[in-house]
Structures are given as structure tokens and as C-alpha cells.
Chains A and B, each alone.
Chain A
Amino acid sequence: MIVIVDYDTGNTLNVKKALDYLAIDNQISADPTVIMAANGLILPGVGAFKTAMNALQQRHLVSVIQAFAATGKPLLGICLGMQLLFDRSEEFGETQGLELIPGKVVAIPTKAGISIPHMGWNTNTLTQNDPFATGFANQATYFVHSYYVQTKSAYTLATTDYGQPLTSIVRRQNILGTQFHPEKSGAIGLAGLRRFKEMTDHATLSSD
């Protein structure tokens, strides 16, 4: 069972629809017991960092997500959900994140020919070999964001070029994130969600 964290953010149901389409057993929940029992956790997210962190705090989900990450079972953050995995964001003043991967979230620099938000299909360039990221190599996926993650190259699996390289896929052990929306990236995105599901199967087998 994959659980999608329920904190009333935009793309939650679209992530569910993609998993349903792939016939992957899933549930949207904010219940700590249900979340901790999941084989894999997906943290969706659309909108502003601070609003999202506030919503997670109000539902007492910050420590639950951190506890889930500590189990070693796979956790995938999508779009804003990926940004939330990091230490802090500079969006609307500084806001603390989930601190699961070292790094921070800053605004995409504006310059000529670079419209903000970065919206549309952009190509991923792999910077490390990784079973989750491999299927995205040189493939275009759908991005919508105005802020991006600055992190160490050790945690960066792929970047995308938008006036400069922007972090597009991250991983620290069992914690993964995509800046793009796999649930809106056609067959390439769906295949990525299926690979995440397979990771949850393996994690379950190895912990048994």
C-alpha cells in the first residue's frame, strides 16, 4: 500500500488517479497509523512553501513524515513536496522545511528569455546513475515552479536546463523527490511512479 499524504494540496487527487490507473494499491490519508504502516509514502504539493508547511504542522504531520523517513521505507516528494524535504525555503521570508535532505529552496533567477514560473515540458539530464532516475534520462517531463532546490551534487540525480541547471530529481537513501509532476508527464511519468512502487516492494521484502 502506498499512502499519499493528505494535507489539502492541489495535486493530491491527480497523484491518486495516476496510481489508480496503474492499478497500484493506494490511499490518501493524514492518519499517523495509516502513514506509518505504508510501504511507501508520497508527499504531493502545489503552491507556496510556507502555506504547505503550516498545513502539515496543523495536521501534526511533520514528525509523522520524519518518522516514516527514518524507517528506511521509500518516500517520494513531488514538486513542492520535493522542496519540503529540504532544510528551508526563502519563499516569502525564510521557512523551515522537513530537514530530510540538506539544502535550501531559492527563487529561480529572472533574466532575459526566462519567464517565471518555469512552466512546461523540459528535458532531464542525469548527473548520477540511479534505478529510479534512469527512466527519466533525456526525457521531457512537466514542470511548474518558481523556486528551485540548491543541494549538494551527492543528492542530485538529475537537472534540467532553464537558463541554468535546475535540480529536477533528488535522492538521499530512501528519500526521493521530483521537481516535475510525474502524474502529469504522460507515459514517462507513469513509468516513474511504477518504479517507485517497485522500490516499495523491495523495501518491504528486505525489512521482512
Chain B
Amino acid sequence: MLTKRIIPCLDVDQGRVKKGVHFTQLKDVGDPVAIAKAYEAQGADELVFLDITATTDARQTMTQTVAVVAEQVFMPLTVGGGIRSVADMHDLLRAGADKIALNSAAVKQPALITAGAETFGSQAVVVAIDTRWQAERQRYQVTINGGRAPVDLDAIQWAKQAVDAGAGELLVTSMDADGTQEGFDLALYRQLSAAVTVPIIASGGAGSAEDFVILFKETTVSAGLAASIFHFCQLTIPEVKTVLKQARVTVR
């Protein structure tokens, strides 16, 4: 049986992990290698690095960060944030990333998904979608630029379009659930799972191990992603996996 994946997400700014990562056992809480190793030891199934560097000229640092992490950590690495071209994708994959997550750039330029898939294979192209429920239109609306800018696009339709264009996986964040720690947006993932056949990573809302149990019992998504609850050791990956095993969800 394919196991359900638990994925921590790290925000990286100019080579340092940001947004209050606080591992009690780490001396340097900003070092991506130390943090990635700690997560590997905990049994994380994959890591997502999100480049939040604001300036374009500092972006090359991300390639360097990926290169040093990939020398020490032997699990799948996905890198997202500010990737705009096949050349950007090439640099990061060559540095040791396994998958590239495209978000705003894919919305603005869907041909980038196809170009990436044709060059590196669909398995290397993740389309990340940030979405928010739009009550007046009764739909999940796509947002870009880190969730700040709504666009006139239905997230379910966009997911289908992205997969048709060549995306091998979707990383879908519910902006409504994100930060609430009240559980994943199950309705969103049910609709997505019915619409596409590629693996889906659910993101936004995880607050407890139970939230992951509910996610995997109630939907067919492949993976659950979380950031702050893992960073602050509010919840550890072994705790999540123990609870999932008790609930008979297959995990590594």
C-alpha cells in the first residue's frame, strides 16, 4: 500500500529558514540543513522549501541552499516560490530538488507547466494553488502572490487545466483554513479528488494529529502539509504517524 505522506513546509529567505522555526534540539534554528535533518530523523516523508526572498538578485541563494541540503538529506525535496522560467526550474533540479512547485507564474503563463513537464517530466512539476471560498459565486477562487491577489479563476477548473497542461501533482492550500489550526478544508479536497487523477497534497488548517486522520479518512488525498505546528514542536511527525497508524491509515 502506498503510504500517506506527511510533509513539513519551510519558508526560506536568503538561505535561512524564517517564520519562527523553533526546534528545541537545534542550536541554529535558521539553518536549512540542520532543520531538514531534524525532520528526516523524525520521519518526514518529503520536504517543501518555499523561497520567500523578496528580491530577485538574492534568489540564486535558494539554488545554493537546495544544493547543500541535498548533500545531507536523502528524501524528496520540492522547491517553490518565485520560479518563472524553465531555466529557473533547471537550476533548482540540477541543484538537487526533485520537484518544482509553480504558483503565480503558472496562472499568468500556463505554458510554463507544459514546458517544464516536457523538459523534466510531469513528476517534476507540481502546481501549487492557493484558494479561498467565494460565497457570492459559490466557488473556490484562485489567488496568487501569496494569497494576496484574487484572480477570476475557479480552483477546481484551474486544477484540471493544470493537470491537462502537464502537472504531475497539486499542492492545494485553503487560505480560509490556513492558520486556523481547525482542520483541513475537506469539501475542497473532495471536489479536487473527483476532478483530477494526479496526487494531491492538502495544505492549510492542520492543528492536531486528528486533523490528519480526518483528512485521510474523509478524502483520497495523498499527503498532508503543515508548517508552524511542526516548527514549534506543538505536534511532532512521530505523534501524527502514531495516531494515523492507530486509525489504520497506512504511513511509513
Contacts and interface: CB of A to CB of B under 8 A. Distances in A.
Nearest to B45: A121
Contacts of B124: 10, 46
B142 to A, nearest CB: 22
Contacts of A120: 2-5, 45, 199, 222-223
Given A10-B121, A122-B3, A162-B2, A117 B71 contact: no
A63 B123 CA distance: 29
B2 A122 contact: yes
A25 B231 CA distance: 37
A121 B120 contact: no
Interface residues of A, number: 37
| Chain A interface main SS type | mixed
B76 A116 contact: no
B2 A118 contact: yes
In the complex, which of the residues A11, A119, A145, A184 has the most CB atoms of chain B within 10 Å of its own CB atom? A119
B232 interface: no
A119 B169 contact: yes
Contacts of A143: 2
Contacts of B74: 18, 21, 183-187, 189-190
Contacts of A21: 71-72, 74
Contact of B75 (A46, A113, A161, A184): A184
Contact of A10 (B71, B120, B220, B222): B120
Contacts of A116: 197-198
A10 B95 CA distance: 10
Contacts of B3: 120-123, 140
B225 interface: no
Interface size class of B (residues with CB under 8 A): 20 to 34
In the complex, which of the residues A46, A145, A189 has the most CB atoms of chain B within 10 Å of its own CB atom? A46
B70 interface: yes
Given A10-B121, A14-B96, A46-B124, A123 B1 contact: yes
A73 B96 CA distance: 28
B40 interface: yes
Interface in B98-138: 98, 120-124
A47 B168 CA distance: 12
B76 A142 contact: yes
A136 B75 CA distance: 16
A82 to B, nearest CB: 15
B2 A184 contact: no
Given A10-B121, A115-B222, A140-B3, 12 more contacts: A13-B96, A20-B71, A46-B123, A117-B122, A117-B199, A119-B123, A119-B168, A119-B169, A121-B5, A121-B252, A144-B76, A146-B123
24 contacts: A10-B121, A13-B94, A13-B96, A14-B96, A17-B70, A17-B71, A21-B71, A21-B72, A21-B74, A46-B123, A47-B123, A110-B197, A115-B199, A115-B220, A117-B199, A119-B123, A120-B222, A121-B5, A122-B2, A140-B3, A142-B75, A142-B76, A161-B1, A184-B75
Interface of A: 10-11, 13-14, 17-18, 20-21, 46-48, 110, 113, 115-123, 140, 142-146, 161-162, 183-187, 189-190
Interface of B: 1-5, 40, 45, 70-72, 74-76, 93-96, 98, 120-124, 168-169, 197-200, 220, 222-223, 252
